[in-house]
Chain A
Amino acid sequence: MEQKNDYKIRIDNLNLHFTANHVLRGINLNIRKNLITALIGPSGCGKSTLLKCLNRMNDILPGVRIEGQVLLGDQDIYADTVDVARLRKRVGMVFQRPVAFPISIYENVASPPRVHGVSHRGTLDSIVKSSLVRVGLWDEVADKLHKSALSLSLGQQQQLCIARVIASEPEVILLDEPCSALDPMSTMKIEELMRQLAKHYTVVIVTHSMQQAARASDYTVFMLSGEIIESGPTGEIFTSPRDSRTENYITGRFR
């Protein structure tokens, strides 16, 4: 049934050492195209580290050693010939706390395309508009595009951050606990938004919240101590986990 083409990202025997710690152990995982994959597990299980392996954000830390293969489409993203900046354009990332730059709303969204060489004003205008429309923020900010992005609420800032990622036309969007700093209403908005995003992009989310993983993802990956314990369709993982450790975690018996 399943085709190789269904997978956007294929991770093959990935190991990550940080100084003396073996943080990720023999990770094998295929991430499906245009679906939402949730990485869950207790704090320190390596889920954020795994996420950051997908856009090579671990590279900027000194003392990190990575072995194994990560294929994005057919390209090994750890090959020597890979342009890391280009890779990160293809694999966008949204962080735990919304980080809006202290410049205007417009400039925030326009900055990635600018960096990637778009300078034509009309083109930028349309990228900014379509990105903001796609995250559902356009109606709220259309008349104050040139106001500081810091004047927005936290939830709006996180939407803005997602719009900014979209503006660089990525193929994959990584979300690292994107709702942990947000109130329930904003969280709901972001979850609805993820659903919309999955129509166009492959989405990978790290989350602390079982409910969020259960509500908002198609596939769930459960990690413990740097290993993948179990992965599968979200419905199966949450209703009939095969491993007792998964069951213990999702029923809240340990965190």
Chain B
Amino acid sequence: MTDRRVTLLFASITGLTVIILVVIIGYVMVNGLPGLTLPFLLESPREMGRTGGVFPAIVGTVLLTGIALIIAAPVGILTAVYLTEYTRDTWLPKIVRFGTESLAGIPSIIFGLFGFLFFVIYLDLGWSVLSGALTLSAMILPTIVRTSEEAIRAVPDAYREVSLALGSTRWQTVTSVVLPSAKPGIMTGVMLAIGRAIGETAAVIFTAGSSLRLPRTLLDSTRTLPVHFYILAREGISLENAYSTAAVLILLILAINIAAYTIMDRLAKKES
């Protein structure tokens, strides 16, 4: 094949990918945006969500994802530091890596089942924000460990050597040189984890429940946006509102991504 044909082939394949994305997002937006009004964002649902808004579900989504991240990000990043900086040439990282890889591939409903049995029943946390967040944190932990490990491993050894030669201890080397250099990679992993957690249905419906009320404590049940539109659509309550809820979720993810990358850009600019 000539170069031109290959280029054409790759261009069309890429085009196909873009079209699929645009069609899916476009379809949701076209159907969802008309119902997406300010009251829809700020009001509580009425009649099971047939009318009213999705405010409690937005709060539930943000709470669940946020708390899951607060738990999983430090644990995941520190685990990655330990595996790469302190136990590099031993069997431990290999075993943990095998474990995290396997965990990352497990369907989320398994995490849901585990969360239900362990957090909801055994620890008696009930259907609650806390149960849901703990389950989600367990689910995204492997992703964070894995991507952080990659990012830390990619930091050149010369940096570590120089830092030690400048009289830093190992821990100072980690905090002052290794982690700052690995920051963009770690951030990407965290963003992936947020994406996974925020759109999660199966793991959440078993553990956080599906209450439509605004959660007042961490032990209240709540409903996330994906669970909300799953129920709206499945039970035939309101397809229009299901689309609008989906649109809210997509816009929320978009907003988080833009915010994260703007912050990263700012940080990078400050340094360059």
- In whole angstroms, how far apart are the Cα atoms of A89 and B172 in the complex? 13
Is A104 an interface residue, CB under 8 A from the partner? yes
- Binary CB contact string for chain A from 91 to 118 against chain B (1 if under 8 A, 0 otherwise): 0110101010111100100011011100
Q: B158: which A residues are within 8 A, CB to CB?
A: 95, 97, 99
- In whole angstroms, how far apart are the Cα atoms of A1 and B156 in the complex? 48
Contact B168 A151 (CB under 8 A): no
- In whole angstroms, how far apart are the Cα atoms of A86 and B270 in the complex? 31
The B interface is mostly helix, strand or loop, or mixed, namely: helix
- Binary CB contact string for chain B from 136 to 161 against chain A (1 if under 8 A, 0 otherwise): 00000000000000000000101101
Shortest Cβ distance from residue A229 to the other chain B in the assembled complex, whole angstroms: 28
Q: Which of B173-181, B199-207, B236-244 contacts A (4 or more CB under 8 A)?
A: B173-181
Is A82 an interface residue, CB under 8 A from the partner? no
**Total chain A interface residues with beta-carbon distance under 8 A:** 32
Is B6 an interface residue, CB under 8 A from the partner? no
- In whole angstroms, how far apart are the Cα atoms of A244 and B153 in the complex? 48
Find the A residue at minimum CB distance from B168.
A115
Contact A111 B165 (CB under 8 A): no
Q: B181: which A residues are within 8 A, CB to CB?
A: 101-102
Contact B164 A101 (CB under 8 A): no
Shortest Cβ distance from residue B153 to the other chain A in the assembled complex, whole angstroms: 16
Contact B270 A111 (CB under 8 A): no
- In whole angstroms, how far apart are the Cα atoms of A88 and B166 in the complex? 6
Is A165 an interface residue, CB under 8 A from the partner? yes
Given contact pairs A95-B161, A99-B159, A101-B177, A111 touches B271 in the complex (Cβ within 8 A): no
Contact B176 A57 (CB under 8 A): no
Q: How large is the interface on B (under 10, 10 to 19, 20 to 34, 35 or more residues)?
A: 20 to 34
- In whole angstroms, how far apart are the Cα atoms of A195 and B271 in the complex? 32
Q: B169: which A residues are within 8 A, CB to CB?
A: 85
Is A208 an interface residue, CB under 8 A from the partner? no
- In whole angstroms, how far apart are the Cα atoms of A107 and B271 in the complex? 9
- Binary CB contact string for chain B from 232 to 253 against chain A (1 if under 8 A, 0 otherwise): 0000000000000000000000
Contact A101 B272 (CB under 8 A): no
Q: A87: which B residues are within 8 A, CB to CB?
A: 167
B161 touches which one: A57, A103, A115 (CB < 8 A)? A57
Interface hits, A51-98 → B, CB 8 Å: 55, 57, 60, 62, 85-89, 92-93, 95, 97
Given contact pairs A88-B166, A164-B166, A114 touches B161 in the complex (Cβ within 8 A): no
Given contact pairs A103-B271, A147-B272, A86 touches B167 in the complex (Cβ within 8 A): yes
Is B106 an interface residue, CB under 8 A from the partner? no
Contact A85 B162 (CB under 8 A): no
- In whole angstroms, how far apart are the Cα atoms of A114 and B177 in the complex? 12
- In whole angstroms, how far apart are the Cα atoms of A121 and B178 in the complex? 23
- Binary CB contact string for chain B from 163 to 197 against chain A (1 if under 8 A, 0 otherwise): 11111110010001100110000000000000000
Interface hits, B9-68 → A, CB 8 Å: none
Is A148 an interface residue, CB under 8 A from the partner? yes
Given contact pairs A101-B159, A115-B176, A151-B272, A57 touches B167 in the complex (Cβ within 8 A): no
Find the B residue at minimum CB distance from A148.
B272
A residues at B contact (CB < 8 Å): 55, 57, 60, 62, 85-89, 92-93, 95, 97, 99, 101-104, 107, 111-112, 114-116, 146-148, 151, 161, 164-165, 168
**Which 9 A-B residue pairs are closest in the complex by CB-CB distance?**
A89-B167, A88-B167, A148-B272, A93-B165, A99-B162, A99-B158, A112-B166, A115-B168, A85-B167
New A-B contacts (8) at CB < 8 Å, excluding given A97-B158, A115-B166, A146-B271? A85-B172, A86-B167, A87-B167, A99-B159, A111-B163, A112-B167, A115-B167, A164-B166
